[in-house]
Structure 1
């Protein structure tokens, strides 16, 4: 694989920020589809693909979410062009025969233990949502991932089937760089990693 150029690495990582405010620029459904169509190729266990997304694309739809958001997340949610609710399908394994056709019996790997299925859904759904944020940046969008919300309220409003469990929420749009906080420090390799030989 070819190494990405610095411009691409800057877009995805070095210059990318969590945004707190938005420019008055719309986000199109085509942009959301482009981001998803990139993110869907990220690997998951047995290609299980448990992520489900609800995109809120109007002020009216976003207003339905606001009662579930913490006070600190209200403004950047309310003013965002789009808000993505990332959830995990707790019965993702029902799609395994379609998604992992060379071993249709793989569905049974996940049905014997509810705890194992939940862990698999959470781990892989979180990976997929992270892939989506990188894909969104790749197609020119900015992101504001948030965990300050009431999951029960979000699920009651947007996932009443009880099958999809909210993971986290992410505002999407074209960020206002004047409202970005100063870059916070990150741990050095030596502080976060260990190489075993």
Structure 2
């Protein structure tokens, strides 16, 4: 559906693209049985990896759950209302922050040779990892939509339990679980209202 929003001309992205990524995109609660291939997921990552993070830290990490066994390990750690939709999704990804992201900085931020040392303090490093990985979570969801798929992001889960179950040998901390696929029957709740510009934006 082409957007009829009168502000479309102010944006470089055409109305169809705006609708695909934002206006017509919805959080899916049910999914069809159509699989999500590795090529699709890789294409999503290869697109969204170019979005900005502070000092090019890129702390987002993803654990892809394809097998029934992996899904069965996750489902009990979800809030009750999130279990059925996750069990029925063709693909589930746990998005996490790598708290040791600074080990990659000599390669990712080479024009600042002391960048790694800046994150020697663990509290600074963890806070930076979480803040920038959450930015990347948003990019990831938009990337899923750009692939013509629906995303069902969830934050209702036992994060400590997920970290223990899936990341016990890694410095990753879970942030968001995202179900991915083609929407199924009755996939959408009613569209909820959004704040208008004047309600959310102020100018000094």
Give TM class, smaller chain. Answer: over 0.9
Name 2:100's counterpart in structure 1: 91
2:114 is aligned with 1:128: no
Matches within 5 A, 1:116-155: 116-155=124-163
Of residues 27, 30, 39 in structure 2, which corresponds to 1:21? Answer: 30
- What is the distance in 2 between the residues matched to 1:54 and 1:89? 12
Which residue of structure 2 lines up, in the alignment, with residue 100 of structure 1? 109
Q: Which runs of 4+ in 1 moved over 4 A?
A: none
In structure 1, C-alpha distance between the alignment counterparts of 2:80 and 2:122, rounded to whole Å: 34
1:178 is displaced (CA, Å) by: 2.4
Partners in 2 of 1:5 and 1:57 — Cα distance? 34
Q: Distance in 1 between matches of 2:157 and 2:12?
A: 38
CA distance in structure 1 between the aligned counterparts of 2:23 and 2:137, rounded to whole angstroms: 19
2:200 to 179, 192, 195: 192
In 1, the alpha carbon distance for the partners of 2:181 and 2:149 equals 5
1:115 equivalent in alignment to 2:123: yes
Moved more, 87-96 or 100-109: 100-109
1:98, 1:104 within 8 Å by CA — same for their partners in 2?
no
| Secondary structure of the corresponding residue to residue 115 of structure 2 | helix
Residues 162 and 54 of structure 1: CA distance in aligned 2, closer, same or farther (over 3 Å):
closer
Structure 1 gap ranges (5+):
none
Shift of 1:175: 1.1
User: Which sections of structure 2, spanning at least 5 residues, go unmatched?
Assistant: 1-10
Secondary structure class of the residue paired with 2:195: coil
- How far residue 64 of structure 1 moved from its aligned partner, in angstroms, is 1.2
Q: CA RMSD in A?
A: 1.2
* 1:171 alignment partner in structure 2: 179
Relative to the length of structure 2, the TM-score reads 0.92
